[in-house]
Structure 1
Amino acid sequence: MTIAPHPDPESTRPIRARRSVLYVPAGHQRAMAKSRALESDAVIFDLEDSVAPTEKNAAREELRSFLAEPLAEGRETIVRINALSTPWGHEDLLAARAVRPDAILVPKVEEPEDISDIDAALDETDAPATLRLWAMIETPRGVMNAGHIARAARTPGCRLDCLVLGTNDLVKETNVAPTPGRPQLTAWLMQVLLAARAYGLDVLDGVFNDFRDAESFAAECRDGRAMGFDGKTLIHPSQIAVANDVFSVESDALREARAIVAAFAKPENAGVGVLSLDGRMVERLHAQSAAKLIEKARRESRTSGHKPDDEL
């Protein structure tokens, strides 16, 4: 019996820059207005934690009005809704669907069904396939089931695109000490990251609460980059520049990627699977990874302008 191989999930998912992802309260007019001029790669307009229960309806209307004019091209728009099990979840989902974001962020995801239920609800509203889902992993059950949740991305038609660590809730629910360097959290962070990578998803590190402590924030960004996160969720605009810098494609890596792609593009290497480049052996699969890295750097430049497009 011949078993068909699983398709590579990375081959069908668009490449995005997600170095800096800023939370903005959906009911805060000034914060929303300010977000248009910021250089974060993405903005999460939050209808959940940052909006009081008595303000939920007003926040939805504020969001509808604000996103009547989309954010600048190249920046992702995400709406975090309340869970469907809450009194506000279904109205949030309808409002989020109506403002046409790039993705909807689902809070406190603990089981694959938490994603499939949202998927089904979106299908009932004829939501476009381009509308993606992000999953907050912020509870002990969510961490334990991260692999099962991420595997849902292989289900045909599943919109799951990114996992987001909710470290504040995770600390609260486990009673671990939030110490510098996050030694008590590292194993759990890596467990979620491994799940994301196994199924071709992006994964974002949690927030750093003391936005006035720039040095410690930068250290945590570097730590997250070393773990392998694609970027970091942020609570304040002052954190954007550091996150963009730390999580950007490094210039040496970009030069190497260009060299690999150029080498395999030469006519004499058209049918070659392995070649020697600067004293080391490089396989064609490295050329595929290099092309993705170049595209990621190009997308980063569209948001922050740290490298002109014509140099990429």
Structure 2
Amino acid sequence: MTEGFRPRRTVLYMPSSNERALEKAKTLAVDALILDLEDAVAPDAKPQARLNAAAAVKSGEYGAKELTIRINGADTEWHADDLKAAAEAGPDAIVVPKVNSAQQVLDLVASFEAAGVPEHTKLWAMIESPQAILDAREILGASDRLTVAVLGTNDLVKELFVDHVPARTNLVTSLQLAVLAARATGTVILDGVYNDVKNEEGFLAEVEQGRQFGFDGKTIIHPGQIAPANEGFAPSEAAIENAKGLIEAFESSDGGVVTYNGKMVENLHVESAKRTLSIAAAIEALQA
């Protein structure tokens, strides 16, 4: 686990036009917020939403939460004003929808610099089209400023001409290609949203699927999804104890073959165990 790791188990979309929701978000146990100026905000509400998002970022009232602003795409009439407001607010990141090419990443980075976006403000790119999935490695590797990929599964479903189905069987290839690209480029990757907010069983299953596929966390749309996703993307107590025991067994060996709980232990297993402990420590520090 690299130094400076931030947990991003739960990343909540928050419509910036809703001032009451923005106030409530201060108390929610999420790792990060996406203050939305795009899909969740009606056209006539976008100017006020822009002001609200900037004020939230500058307020200093959200504790250790990572604060990002999702702006409207470069092909929209709101993009320039969104980017200007985000540059002045200086969030942890600016989330850009529908990033479909490496050249688009380079253009966005150039526009960030031209707009005076602070260096600490990173780019989060939304991967939400067949083209973006197929070119994900080039997109995610185009700039060091791009640090997080956000999967837009609703748009992906629409563009693939398919339906939302249990276990996302029609998206498995896309999900796995996106994770492969993220791992190949050292990029954090967040799973898409789960739409049926009343279906707790379905949400839990999708959290577990995302964790097993290798996602770092999940974007969510309702406060009721926070606790299950926080738990699902954190190492369990059993996993933490197993990691500690494995490392201890390996480090106390005399250089011969090492086994722990009946399984052979190699350096790669130790590295995975140390990663588990690093994640657990980062989550504990965030909660503190």
Note the C-alpha offset of 1:281.
Answer: 4.9
Task: Choose the corresponding residue for 2:73, options 64, 70, 83.
Answer: 83
Amino acid at match of 1:301: E
Note the C-alpha offset of 1:283.
Answer: 4.3
- In the TM superposition, what are the counterparts of 1:99-248 in structure 2 within 5 Å? 99-152=89-142, 155=143, 158-248=144-234
2:53 maps to 63
Q: Quick check: 2:83–2:115 contact (8 Å CA) kept in 1?
A: no
Q: Quick check: 2:149–2:188 contact (8 Å CA) kept in 1?
A: yes
Note the C-alpha offset of 1:174.
Answer: 1.7
Q: Give the distance between the partners of 2:20 and 2:87, measured in 1 at CA.
A: 23
Change (3 A) 1:105 1:275: farther
1:293 maps to 276
Change (3 A) 1:261 1:125: farther
Note the C-alpha offset of 1:254.
Answer: 1.6
- In the TM superposition, what are the counterparts of 1:255-274 in structure 2 within 5 Å? 255-261=241-247
Residues 107-116 or 293-302, more deviating: 293-302
Q: Give the distance between the partners of 1:94 and 1:298, measured in 2 at CA.
A: 36
Match of 1:45, SS state, is strand
Note the C-alpha offset of 1:70.
Answer: 2.6
Note the C-alpha offset of 1:286.
Answer: 4.5
Amino acid at match of 2:30: S
Query: Is 2:38 the partner of 1:52?
Result: no
Q: Quick check: 1:74–1:299 contact (8 Å CA) kept in 2?
A: no
Q: Give the distance between the partners of 1:80 and 1:97, measured in 2 at CA.
A: 12
Match of 1:16, SS state, is coil
Q: Quick check: 1:150–1:196 contact (8 Å CA) kept in 2?
A: yes
Query: Is 2:16 the partner of 1:26?
Result: yes
Note the C-alpha offset of 1:302.
Answer: 4.1
RMSD (Å) for aligned C-alpha atoms: 2.4
1:15 maps to 5
Q: Give the distance between the partners of 1:277 and 1:71, measured in 2 at CA.
A: 49
Note the C-alpha offset of 1:245.
Answer: 1.3
Match of 2:186, SS state, is coil
Change (3 A) 1:95 1:275: farther
Residues 141-150 or 34-43, more deviating: 141-150
Q: Quick check: 1:64–1:99 contact (8 Å CA) kept in 2?
A: yes
Q: Quick check: 2:72–2:79 contact (8 Å CA) kept in 1?
A: yes
Q: Give the distance between the partners of 2:250 and 2:64, measured in 1 at CA.
A: 29
Q: Give the distance between the partners of 1:74 and 1:127, measured in 2 at CA.
A: 21
Match of 2:64, SS state, is coil
Q: Give the distance between the partners of 2:259 and 2:121, measured in 1 at CA.
A: 41
Match of 1:232, SS state, is strand
Amino acid at match of 1:173: E
**Structure 2 length as normaliser, TM-score?**
0.90
**Structure 1 length as normaliser, TM-score?**
0.83
Change (3 A) 1:99 1:263: farther
Q: Give the distance between the partners of 2:9 and 2:58, measured in 1 at CA.
A: 26
Note the C-alpha offset of 1:164.
Answer: 1.0
Q: Quick check: 2:71–2:94 contact (8 Å CA) kept in 1?
A: yes
Segments of structure 2 that go 5 or more residues without pairing to the other structure are none
